[in-house]
Structure 1
Amino acid sequence: MAGCPQRVPPRRVPPAGPAGAVSQRWPHARAKMEAPALLRVWVLAAMALGGSWATLPDHHVLPDHRVSSETGAVFVHELERELFQEAFVGGHEDDGAAAPITFQAHLRDHPDLPRWLRFVQRDPHQPGYLYGSPTAAEVGTHTIEVLAHNRHTYGTVAQRLVVTVIPAPGGEPPYRGEFLVGNRNVEELLPAAAREMFLEATASVWERDDIRVTNVTSALDRGGRVPLPIEGRKEGVYVTVGSHGAFSPCLVSATSPQSQLRCHQGQQPLASCYDTFAPRFAIRWCNLTLLQVWPSTPAPGPLWGPGVLEEGGDFQPPTEVPPQDLLPGYLVTLLVPLAAAALLCLLLGHLMCCRREGVQKRDLETSDIQLVHHTTIHGDTEELRHMAGSRDVPRPLSTLPMFNVRTGQRINPMPGPPDGARVPLLPQ
């Protein structure tokens, strides 16, 4: 009825006593019972969430990129941010080009890059560079896996870089010069434009047209120190260039002993080509190194003798072995050591038995006066020993003990005036 108040059911009050106590503790017991079930629910939820994250469409794979490199020349590959930025999904349209991207690179099925390849990226807003100088030992195909991370959307883009290293057609340049550029970082000399400018300056100094960059290395990788955070301070880069022609007189004079002496004195070396690189490249001329490397001749292969089987032939072992006479070898092995041992025994017996002088021979070779003198001394000694053993006289006082344990007699072996220093240890 509308006018009647609603009836509120009475609240159940737990009874007093043990039953009431059990009913009051029931929520805690229920919580303890549900803890394993809640833990299983959390684990299943985490697994489901992880599986859903693994299947999110935030990871894209770009087509494989194939490049080639020659031995004896520097290899540089730029990881362009624009190429990877276009592949990200869910990025912000207003700042898509400004999104920070970090790159990671490693050899396929390996945690790190090959020993001849290096990676550098100064800032997430700058591109990354893979660079290195392959040698003849690295000829072949190398698969590099590159992974780009978007720091805003946490998306990833992967790409495989297939690098094919081939031998240089004209061979590696035998004449090489290493310059230390003090006003650049390594990523500033890796772009093609910067390397072309450096090659132009080097060609004018070297006076050759076949100059090419063979290696680029940061000064930090050669033991250099990190520069102070001051404007204009750079890490420094070692740039190695090579040519098939000899060094120019300017470069030779810069590495002469007179120039090295001036460098130790803190002066510039003797060279007339300082202004060629300035002001774009500040060359440390005291660190200039000129090398002349000639290709080593390969070791000659093995010479096959007449016993080498022809292609497709089968080895036919001999069916019969000619008999061999082993008696001479056995006699030589057994009788020669026995004969040597017998000769040694005969020689030793002759020396020990037949070469003895004896007492009679010794007495015959000794003079009579010496024999009489020796006999007299021997007889006198025996007589004195016999007399000393048969005498009956008291022992001297110096040999008597101060305290006779057997009789209890106390005798002073050296009688004299009584003084404090000669008082016996025990009272009289």
Structure 2
Amino acid sequence: MLYYLCLFLSFSVRIFAEEENVLLTEVFTISLDPSLFNWTYEEPHQYVYQASLLDAPDLPSWIKYVFSEKHRKGFLYGVPPNRNKPKIPLQVVALNTKNYETRIEYINIHISEKLNPAKFEVSLKIDNVNVDDIFDIERMDSLRDIFRKQLWKDSENDLYVTYLESAIELGARKPLDPEQGEGIVLRLGSQSPFSINLKELEEEVKPLWKLPSCPRNFKRTSVERYFRDAGFALDWCSFRLIDPNNSAMHHSEMKESGPLKDKWETITKDSVPLRNYTLDVTWSLILPVALLIILTFVLSFILCFYHEGIYDQASEDFFDNLFHICTDMCERSKDDDLSGSTQTSGFDKTPPILEHFTSNQMVKLSPDPVLVSNSHTDSPTSTVNRGVHCRPSPPPYVRPRFKPDCTQTGLKGNEKSWYC
């Protein structure tokens, strides 16, 4: 019983859904404001909206959502495609950020045929406006009046917007100044053929088509004053006239003839292509081995047949005398020891003035007994073998000759103690 009650309530809610009628090849707008959910507006940024297909997580690709800070409400906009489904059910969830109350509303979009669809279109890129600015009726009428009264007078009765998209969504960069508009790309269509003024304008800006986009104030055309007075800065590099072969009606017929699926289907495992890596592995092994064999053959050929040409006498002498280095070093060290002993033999003789001194008196002449003990092993007459590159030992300590002999001068005992 409870199940049927819930089912009845769900159907009763969907019966009272909002109905919106849209036309093919024409941009529609649906506003989302607090009055749609029986709320009263209190302060900005109080309500948040999220729209999606009924029983689906997101909107279809041809419906866009944008929230306007200027109008303080959200907008659903897009161009309906020519599909088999004439009715598109939407679900909009609103959140009150002040008390976290949520409400749900349902919107049914009914797609209808347009009686006189556009055959000729003018594509424009406006740099200083946002998408929500076009939803302002006065701003949009001022843009239409430029074409209906100045450039395309024959389209006065049936001129309408056939395409609208943000330039950021199409790959453009955001402006450095946040206060500047992000830019939009739109198309205005009509059944009337292009006027002479539009064709002359196309010829005027045709040299700019080689550039993907033009900076602001890059080029001023002969009709620049009309758009500047209305507050529009156009990118003339993106100005195009679209003939009936590329018009909105032509694209609508192409979509109608082709099969379209609303449900996305994943690919199967069998449909994924397989790549054979046998050839890649073979080449990665054969190529290095072949290069190694060729290099080995070339080096062997050079060493075998051109051995005499690479003969170096200096290298041969070096290798022949390489093992005689040790014997040469030993002989050289012996010669150095003999020459050192010959040079230090003159220091072994004691001067005549010091022959009568005893060994104790000689020790006293040394400033430090430790230095005296160390000098025994460091004397030039030491028999310890030293290396060839060692520094030579210092000469033995000799008493200065200018010091007088205390025994011969006849000094007294007290005077000897501090002087000698």
Q: TM-score, normalised by structure 1?
A: 0.49
